[in-house]
Amino acid sequence: MAGLTAPLLGLQKKSLREQALSALRTAITSGELEPGRHLVETELSEMLQISRGTLREALRQLEQEGLVSAGPRGRLSVRHLDEKEIRDIYAVRAALESLAARTLCELPDRQHVTESLHKAIDAMTAATSGSLEDRIESDLEFHRTLCRLTGNETLLHSWESLEGSIRMSIMFAGLEKGVSNMSVDRHNDIVAAIDTGDASLARKTILEHMDAAAANLVA
């Protein structure tokens, strides 16, 4: 009985590919693999202790997510974002999240929505005294929840495809600037707007939030 190798509390074991994917995402968005850094397959596969084939599958996905970009002859490197790209990313993010906000306004069970969002804000509050990473994490979790609660899987998937780029934007702009807009108050405004059920108000609130966040990053 004792000596279980892993708790497995509802966790399903992930494939090596998924583990590699997570590891690479973290390495990139944490800056451990700096933008522009050339990624050599053999190096990475040795580093991660996986075969090249498995690694390549993970790299394809990172490419799709925009974390790495392909140069001539398939050469991969960590993507470098300039200010225009950050603005562009945030414009798309704003479009997706404003759809989410509008959708939530038209949901029958808005009670549950408000509840879940408040819970996410509580997590942000709890993280205020924590590390920078924790604060970023809880902020993104709030916005991910926003998308998830719509029940629109495509929307959630599109947002998650953008998540890596969003993280890179925050990192690129410097962590201090990046988190300064993550105040709990601003997020309460969003929930309040959704709670009124006024779709255009909710949309407006999100767009302002995104504008402020983007302006903050590239200012």
Partner DNA sequence: TGTAAGTCGACTGTTTACAGTCGGTATTAG
Partner DNA sequence: CTAATACCGACTGTAAACAGTCGACTTACA
78 counts as binding its own copies under rule CB under 8 A? no
Q: Which does 39 bind (CB under 5 to 8 A by kind): its own copies, DNA, none?
A: DNA
Terminal-residue alpha carbon distance, the chain: 57
Q: Which residues contact 75 (CB under 8 A, 6 or more apart)?
A: 38
75 counts as binding DNA under rule CB under 7 A? yes
The binder of its own copies chosen from 28, 44, 45, 66 (CB under 8 A) = 66
Please choose, out of 2-10, 11-19, 137-145, 181-189, the segment that lies near DNA by the rule CB under 7 A: 11-19
Q: Which does 191 bind (CB under 5 to 8 A by kind): DNA, its own copies, none?
A: none
Q: Which of 209, 172, 179 is nearest to 194 (CA)?
A: 209
Task: State both tokens at 218.
Answer: 């590239």
12 counts as binding DNA under rule CB under 7 A? no
Q: Which does 99 bind (CB under 5 to 8 A by kind): its own copies, DNA, none?
A: its own copies
DSSP 128: T
168 counts as binding its own copies under rule CB under 8 A? no
Task: State both tokens at 190.
Answer: 């969003």
Q: Which is nearer to DNA, 73 or 84 (CB)?
A: 73
CB of 75 to DNA, least distance (A): 5
Q: Mask: binding to DNA, 27-46, rule CB under 7 A, as x and -?
A: -----------xxxxx----
DSSP 3: -
Q: Which residues contact 153 (CB under 8 A, 6 or more apart)?
A: none
Please choose, out of 34-42, 114-122, 127-135, 150-158, the segment that lies near its own copies by the rule CB under 8 A: 150-158
Phi (first) and psi of residue 162, to 5 degrees: -90, -15
The binder of its own copies chosen from 91, 123, 184, 199 (CB under 8 A) = 91
The binder of DNA chosen from 30, 31, 32, 52 (CB under 7 A) = 52
Q: Which is nearer to its own copies, 21 or 124 (CB)?
A: 21
Distance CA 28, CA 167 (A): 9
16 counts as binding DNA under rule CB under 7 A? yes
Q: Which of 177, 186, 175, 192 is nearest to 210 (CA)?
A: 186
CB of 83 closer than 8 Å to CB of 91: no
